[in-house]
Structure 1
């Protein structure tokens, strides 16, 4: 059956067409996002939900979204989606972080020019018939120092454009590598240095606890007298009341803002100042950008629903369309190894160590680790899934470690999962053979070879003659058919393991009888 996608906000017809061309059923209801109750009523019928900013995806709506696999936001901000609630339900949340980068960068450059040449005020004056040629004395951009706070995707486009305008560019960004700074032609500096040197400051950073009010009263006081400030990033990066004071006192020559701490901004400390230019959050508002993000989200959602490829997800590692088919059998292996360990774990888990060896080490191990943790925690927590598992493990204080190394075994690819509990440490290893089926090849250091099956019995015992006969006889008496029988031991007469596939579930009474066979330490029914 073809996947079904609901579009609940206004998205371009070209995006709707992409879904259709890829063989996905589309229900285009651009006004539905405003009707929460109607959305909650019908969302259960869809595999995907494509939105802009009008639709609010709340836990209440997600409660009824029983088939939903992916939410796609055409744009960068996903604050209208309850990400923890979506993650808990295993729903991938995607955005389009790069679709409107050029548009936003261009808007910042336009605001800088508007500020430098007082274009908005000059326009109003001229259209009023005043011809105040001497009143509007601007400044040149060429040769000025532009300070960029946040030199990521948008900031780096601004930097390139500014260098093209013959500006000198200094950038403050803790994540900017010296190599990248060199490539861009910018000088990487500390914040205080930027504040002291910049003629114009432009902000291009997300709003976090670290960046909130990064231009505070204290930092504004460190700027050059006559500085101009541009904010097309996020409201809240600048202390607006402190900036108004600095403008009134003449320390800051002008400010151009597209974003405000409260939006829609119907009033703001900056409004009404003659040297302030304001626009109503137009950073991403061009025909091209709106089209770009709509087309991009349609492609991303289609790739995920049809091929399992994940890109620009905010709650899961990216997986390319090429990686997805190679990963699939290893995700199944990781989840089953986790499930095997989880079903045998009876005390609190302290830590999990996963080793990837051989060809699997070159795959997206973060996704495999998520699958292993989901398998491990599900016997105890039921509703945990591949998307939510890392968060759940972290909440419970479980330490998760990964090791990646070249092949040191007979297997082309090997995943080893070690679980440390309050009482013991248990390791289990597996591989995927050419048929794509996951196999378990080592338990607690003992070599075995078994495929995972829906119903299995796991027995640890002393390696003594007569065990297999008694065990098989007991199952025969109970009417339980053995499908496969895998055995392993560490040394003759030492510790042994049996992993047995049976047809149908194993009653508790039968397990109790197995426990009475001489030398048996543990007998447990497993389900995969």
Structure 2
């Protein structure tokens, strides 16, 4: 009997290695100590590989891995994996998303306590410099301080529970959860981000998405109370590092606890020059317990994948290329983009998704619904959402997913549509594929349009009166925002118009507010695809 070959490319806990070595139908090869250029010479033997952050799964790796069917990233982050390249080769990519939850929670609490008591600096005074000066090290207590938690998922919610045990006053901001998830734990829930900025201590626990990158910057820090303490054990870049540096240097931010950086290793990061920051080298998952769980879960996923049993936590489409016709793949990609667009345009806890497939594409409405859910939930969950867990996560969040297939109607042989309902209202978007796989959005909330789902988009609904386009162009020009495309839909019966404005530059809140202040404006939304 031919054995399945599982290759371990990076170091994992011995428990995972023992699992692999004990399987009679598995040939287990450990190349963790092999130089990476030598790895490329042997990886062609592998049916499944287990990697961590040290192995770059890039084009060269994939070209060498000629027999590879699946890849397990032993950890959460997949920044070092070319997922698109894997998908094109039919390689299933999986990660291990929850094994380090408690480790990250406890590291957050460690940083919080260290910042409040300046613990590392007091330690260095005595241990390294042999100075006994108690009066130099007056700290602060967590009790009765207000903790603001940005992101109340698996990690953020557990930080909140532990902070409550320290008798802190806890408030959270997470527009993508049911408020009851917080209030049931005795945590205050807010939809006003300024409530978080008013806290004594702020910690962030969100995925790294277009919305969250740099979400704490110069303007946000300026709004904070003097002497605020900031913690980041989630992802590098959620805090703008330059703004954080200036805040720490000026004393506006009294202390910061940072485990993650934009560029790692961060041995030359300017933040390290400051004396009011505690830093660790990305240790969120570095406990013996979490490493045991990561290794054993990664090994089990690799075994299941090698045997073709299941692909838990798959991050790309877990089907073979020949199981779906070529034309349908473009519609799956399109409906995922539509879901992502709809969730950005209608931010808030999602209540329901209705997915419709018109024409032949309706035969794949189940797959369309899964892809739509991945797109819609990606706005709030980032890389943690995938094609395998999307239905489960939606059910867990109380999101109803309805599916409908109908005959072709109107001008299009095939069309897909999504109706997303959130606490902020309803948005309906439909699209189709033209020749040569050209994706187009053809309708938004009843307005007929022809828009490529790509780039930075301003959705501007207004009363259909003279001068509006000129006013919009003037505001964008004033702020040096270049318009690359302008698509207009009109509804004469209602006297309304909807413009989709594609721009080359990032659009600030100031620009959006000026647009919204126009007399003709009904709403302004900004999305990025």
TM over 0.5: yes
Write the deviation string for residues 390-445 of structure 1: whole angstroms up to 9, x where unpaired: xxxxxxxxxxxx9747xxxxxxxxxx89789999679xxxxxxxxxxxxxxxxxxx
CA contact (8 A) 2:146 2:169 kept: yes
Partner of 2:134: 133
Check if 1:283 corresponds to 2:291: no
Q: How far apart in 2 are the matches of 1:157 and 1:341?
A: 41
Shift of 1:84: 0.7
- Could you list the structure 1 runs, at least 4 aligned residues long, displaced by more than 6 angstroms after superposition: 334-337, 339-342, 416-423
1:353 corresponds, among 357, 361, 383, to: 361
CA contact (8 A) 1:356 1:403 kept: no
Q: How far apart in 1 are the matches of 2:54 and 2:143?
A: 41
Write the deviation string for residues 429-469 of structure 1: whole angstroms up to 9, x where unpaired: xxxxxxxxxxxxxxxxxxxxxxxxxxxxxxxxxxxxxxxxx
Q: Which runs of 5+ in 1 are unaligned?
A: 318-330, 343-348, 371-386, 388-401, 406-415, 427-528
Partner of 2:108: 108
How many residues in Structure 1 have an aligned counterpart in Structure 2?
360
Describe the shift of the 1:356–1:30 C-alpha distance in structure 2 as closer, same or farther (beyond 3 A): closer
- Which stretch has the larger CA shift, 266-275 or 4-13? 266-275
Shift of 1:336: 6.6
Q: How far apart in 2 are the matches of 1:202 and 1:189?
A: 15
Check if 1:201 corresponds to 2:209: no
Describe the shift of the 1:154–1:403 C-alpha distance in structure 2 as closer, same or farther (beyond 3 A): closer
Q: How far apart in 2 are the matches of 1:213 and 1:235?
A: 9
Partner of 2:300: 299
Write the deviation string for residues 276-327 of structure 1: whole angstroms up to 9, x where unpaired: 111222221112212211111111121222243121111136xxxxxxxxxx
Write the deviation string for residues 465-486 of structure 1: whole angstroms up to 9, x where unpaired: xxxxxxxxxxxxxxxxxxxxxx
CA contact (8 A) 1:355 1:417 kept: no
- Which stretch has the larger CA shift, 113-122 or 239-248? 239-248
Q: TM-score, normalised by structure 1?
A: 0.61
Partner of 1:61: 61
Describe the shift of the 1:353–1:196 C-alpha distance in structure 2 as closer, same or farther (beyond 3 A): same
Q: TM-score, normalised by structure 2?
A: 0.61
Partner of 1:316: 317
Check if 1:80 corresponds to 2:80: yes
Describe the shift of the 1:190–1:240 C-alpha distance in structure 2 as closer, same or farther (beyond 3 A): same
Partner of 1:89: 89
Q: How far apart in 2 are the matches of 1:175 and 1:266?
A: 35
Q: Aligned to 2:65, what secondary structure does the other structure show?
A: coil
Partner of 2:175: 174
Partner of 2:122: 122
Partner of 1:31: 33
Q: How far apart in 1 are the matches of 2:195 and 2:309?
A: 44
Partner of 1:187: 188
Q: Aligned to 2:41, what secondary structure does the other structure show?
A: helix
Shift of 1:339: 8.2
Partner of 2:20: 19
Write the deviation string for residues 6-51 of structure 1: whole angstroms up to 9, x where unpaired: 111112222122223443221111123x423x33332222210111
Describe the shift of the 1:185–1:313 C-alpha distance in structure 2 as closer, same or farther (beyond 3 A): farther
Shift of 1:185: 2.9
Partner of 1:384: none
Q: How far apart in 2 are the matches of 1:420 and 1:86?
A: 36
Partner of 1:160: 161
Q: Aligned to 2:361, what secondary structure does the other structure show?
A: strand
Describe the shift of the 1:351–1:161 C-alpha distance in structure 2 as closer, same or farther (beyond 3 A): farther
Q: How far apart in 2 are the matches of 1:160 and 1:425?
A: 49
Q: How far apart in 2 are the matches of 1:8 and 1:341?
A: 35
Q: How far apart in 2 are the matches of 1:73 and 1:138?
A: 41
Q: How far apart in 2 are the matches of 1:229 and 1:249?
A: 14
Describe the shift of the 1:279–1:130 C-alpha distance in structure 2 as closer, same or farther (beyond 3 A): same
Superposed CA RMSD in Å reads 3.5
Describe the shift of the 1:245–1:301 C-alpha distance in structure 2 as closer, same or farther (beyond 3 A): same
Aligned 1:483-502 pairs, distance under 5 A:
none
Q: How far apart in 1 are the matches of 2:80 and 2:297?
A: 19
Aligned 1:442-521 pairs, distance under 5 A:
none
